[in-house]
Amino acid sequence: MTSDNAPILITGGAGFIGARLARRLARLGHPVTVFDSFTEQVHGNGSAARAGVAVDGISVLHGDVRDRDLIERALRASRARTVIHLAAETGTGQSHTEPAHYVDVNVTGTARLVEAIRNVGGVRRVILSGSRAVYGEGACVDRAGLRVTAVARREADLAVGDYAPKDRVGRSLRPVATAADTPAAPTSIYASTKLMQEYLLTQGLWGSGTHVGLLRMQNVYGPGQALSNPYTGVLSVFARKISEGEKLEVFEDGAITRDFVYVDDAVEAFVSMVQTPVVTAQPIDIGSGKATTLLEIAGKLLETMEGDRDGLHVTGAYRPGDVRHALADISTAKAVLGWRPNVDLDSGLVRFAEWAAAAPKHAVA
């Protein structure tokens, strides 16, 4: 169990979700320490990110999650009873071209964190910012309505415009909402490293008295995304292109679906996980519970940001590791955490668009 106002350490706490979460927890009375590497791809020169998070009494430590000595110092300095692990490299496409780097940061970094927690002691709870990517194509049913595990889509199918998820013998499947009872089947290097983070924490902290909570996040969006970082999310890429008058390129046939959850709702999921008396061993899926096609979201953002109505191009292109559909079953989050999303997509896009129109490339909300 956690105690009220217990000290919290957030790895990656100066990032998109982390900075908002740090400020939220500080306002709730928690002593908060942020541990972040302030990488240029995410933060630019890092000065704006530091200024954005070094408020409300929040302590900021500069360090790499792969450096065990620095993590141990952070744990001791913060006297953390809860650690929220957000530090990670993100991006399906980049992980394909830089696999060693993704494994180093996401896997080795998490292993170092486990070692540090065991060595320092005192941490009662670790909360991982996981990813729905671990499911791969996610939950699907066949023509009879029976649950079937989809396999990774074949390049030969994608090349001829056959984008549907399929079973092992090549029969097309219908996607449905994905929950934690869906078998993990990562289709990208990024997804595999996120699944390994879960294994490292749950196996590495077994028997230590440190309880592990897993939140599997869908596509989080909102003010604070680094608009110049091509791996921070499709909406930030679209927003940058709209602001620069470029045409939006939508992959495949435009019917790829994603579950977009507003950043403040995502933050509240972490707060709920901090406050819940008992951490469940079952991963909890966090999303809006609604699927939106990329073509639809591109059109909505163009309209919201008053872009060129003809500024869309469905390319037919595809990327290794991409999944066709993503949609969260959020019933466990509602039942276990009492959490539910409060910001609908249209309202969230207005807030995001207003911020993106005025924000510098590396601004932190």
User: HEC profile for 99-147?
Assistant: HHHHHHHHHHHHHHHHHHHHHHCCCCEEEEEEEHHHHCCCEEECCCCCE
CA 300 vs CA 35, 36, 317: distances in Å: 36, 34, 21
Are 21 and 271 a contacting pair, CB within 8 Å? yes
How far apart, in whole angstroms, are the C-alpha atoms of residue 197 and residue 11?
14
How far apart, in whole angstroms, are the C-alpha atoms of residue 91 and residue 232?
7
Token duo for residue 287: 């999303």
How far apart, in whole angstroms, are the C-alpha atoms of residue 280 and residue 148?
26
Name the residue among 104, 92, 95, 105 with its Cα closest to residue 132. 92
- Give the active site residue among 102, 190, 262, 318: 190
Count the helix, strand and coil residues of the chain and give each as a percent rounded to the nearest 5.
40, 15, 45
Name the residue among 268, 262, 243 with its Cα closest to residue 339. 268
Active-site residue flag, 190: yes
Residue type, 126: V
What backbone torsions phi and psi does residue 265 show, to the nearest 5 degrees? -70, -40
Catalytic center residues: 190
